[in-house]
Amino acid sequence: MTMGTRIYLARLAGLGVFDPNGDRVGRVRDSVVRLRTTNRPPQVVGLVAEMALRRRIFLPIGRVTSMDSDAVVLGTGTLNLRRFEKRPNELLVVEDLLDRRVTVVADDDATGEGTPGTVVDISMELNRNTEWLVTRVAVRELTGRLARRGHVYQAEYSRVRGLVGPTDTQGTANLLALLEQMRPADMANALQDLPDARRNEVAAALSDRRLADVLEELPEHDQVEIIAGLERERAADVLERMDPDDAADLLAELPQVEQAVLLDLMEPEEADPVRQLLRYDPGTAGSIMTSEPVILTPDTTVAEALAHIREPELSPAVAAQVFVARAPSATPTGKYLGMVYFQRLLREPPASILGGIVDNDLEPLRPEMPLVEITKRMATYDLVALPVVDQTRRLLGAVTVDDVLDHSLPRDWRDRDLNEPEEVEL
């Protein structure tokens, strides 16, 4: 990096962090600026990077050897893996400053009223003392219309008022634009790092589908806080877009009165599978199964089955096989006949029917079977899903490997893991 290089900090979010050998060690999530006395511009002291197991660490700016639009590269040395904690005189660009409501004043403006706007990005430059300082702020001008339609321009840091101030002047538009580029699990992790009020505000601004995906990746206590902060009608809409087993797990954490209210607000066809899952004892096949696996009748062709599992919203575990049952094909189905694995579908002629290639060698699970027995059976036969049937062999759902993992791990496994080494040599 050369003197005078201008780098926009919000654009660094999401870039890969690499060691000197070119191996990825993490991903940039934010930038840390340190406030200074008088009117001197803040100093950029480092980056926040997300490592394995969602651990966020501090990367001193002096350890960074290059930054561009593709990657951040570190120099050799020891990397401190202690979890990042923001100090009192520090701010995070994405978390604290993006979308902040500010006023930009002209150099000759004696009134100090200026022009209102919102922060879109912040740039830093290297000075003669090899310090990275905040020099410019990209601002979207507020007009009488929606803020996002306003003109975007750059202003010198000295002309911007309100950049460091109360957090209630912060919106969500630009932060949402960054978060929308992430996978649901990464977005959930980013939300956990926000203050509660900011997190709830951002979550409420997501679409129903996106919020449902993110809730499925959050710890249960965060799920409850977010869903409780929504209007009940909106909460019901979000629950409808969650997988029934995940929606049932979330509702199980709420008081029964609140459960009943939200279930009544949901569409009946969406609420019925969730009600059924809530009837089973915790830790059993019935309580952890998904009631919406891919279920087809025996006269379905291989070509039709392949078309069904191409559905992009299906998880890999659910799409790894189809379950074959007599009509009706919605759970609880007609008589369960067996399953056909994805690999078998690829080997058969497209016109073949499922009834002729169905595999029924494995005994289905019963809804009361405990988790430990399910885990043993999956491990024994190297399976990613198993059917669950009732006494009359009607298919009730399927337990997938991700369901088993989710319920086998400690309840707080989605929270921060503190049992990691504190240093690593690059």
Per-residue model confidence (pLDDT) at position 418: 45
Cα–Cα distances in angstroms (integers) from residue 338 to residues 256, 273, 395, in the given order: 37, 22, 10
Tokens of 177: 């634009």
Average pLDDT over residues 342-360: 95
Over 50: is that where the pLDDT of 147 sits?
no
Containing 178, the helix (H) or strand (E) segment is helix 173-179
Cis amide leading into 387 (omega within 30) = no
225, 195 contact by CB (below 8 A): no
Per-residue model confidence (pLDDT) at position 166: 58
C-alpha atoms less than 13 angstroms from C-alpha of 126 in its C-beta half-sphere: 11
Report d(CA 322, CA 317) in Å as an integer.
11
Determine the residue type at 78: T
Top pLDDT among 27 and 3 is at 27
Average pLDDT over residues 320-330: 94
pLDDT band at 12 (very low <50, low <70, confident <90, very high): very high
Report d(CA 341, CA 359) in Å as an integer.
8
Determine the residue type at 199: R
Containing 134, the helix (H) or strand (E) segment is strand 132-141
Lowest-confidence range among 114-123, 165-174, 265-274? Answer: 165-174
pLDDT band at 422 (very low <50, low <70, confident <90, very high): low
Domain boundaries, the chain: 1-171, 184-279, 295-408
Top pLDDT among 135 and 114 is at 135
Over 50: is that where the pLDDT of 324 sits?
yes
pLDDT band at 1 (very low <50, low <70, confident <90, very high): very low
Lowest-confidence range among 34-48, 50-64, 366-380, 409-423? Answer: 409-423
Radius of gyration of the chain (CA): 26
Per-residue model confidence (pLDDT) at position 220: 84
pLDDT tens digits, 275-316 = 989 999 988 999 999 988 999 999 999 999 999 999 988 889
pLDDT tens digits, 13-57 = 989 999 888 888 899 999 999 988 767 889 999 999 988 766 888
Biggest CA–CA distance in the chain, Å, is: 85
Percent of the chain residues past pLDDT 70, beyond the cut: 90
Average pLDDT over residues 340-369: 94
Mean pLDDT of the chain: 86
Lowest-confidence range among 81-95, 132-146, 242-256? Answer: 132-146
What are the contacts of 184-187 at 24+ separation with CB within 8 A? 184/210, 184/213, 184/214, 184/216, 184/217, 185/217, 186/50, 187/214, 187/217
Average pLDDT over residues 325-347: 94
Top pLDDT among 235 and 38 is at 235
Q: What is the DSSP letter of 343?
A: H
Q: What is the DSSP letter of 95?
A: I
Report d(CA 192, CA 419) in Å as an integer.
19
Report d(CA 53, CA 51) in Å as an integer.
6
pLDDT tens digits, 165-221 = 655 556 677 777 777 777 888 888 888 877 788 888 888 888 899 999 999 888 888
Cα–Cα distances in angstroms (integers) from residue 330 to residues 67, 324, 325, 338, in the given order: 53, 11, 10, 15
Burial class (CB in 10 A: 0-12, 13-18, 19+), 322: buried
Report d(CA 360, CA 362) in Å as an integer.
6
Average pLDDT over residues 379-404: 93
Top pLDDT among 379 and 425 is at 379
Cis amide leading into 42 (omega within 30) = no
Average pLDDT over residues 80-100: 87
85, 22 contact by CB (below 8 A): no
Over 70: is that where the pLDDT of 112 sits?
no
Average pLDDT over residues 120-139: 91
CATH of domain 184-279: 1.10.220.30
What is 295-408's CATH topology? CBS-domain (3.10.580)
Over 70: is that where the pLDDT of 347 sits?
yes
121, 136 contact by CB (below 8 A): no
Over 70: is that where the pLDDT of 426 sits?
no
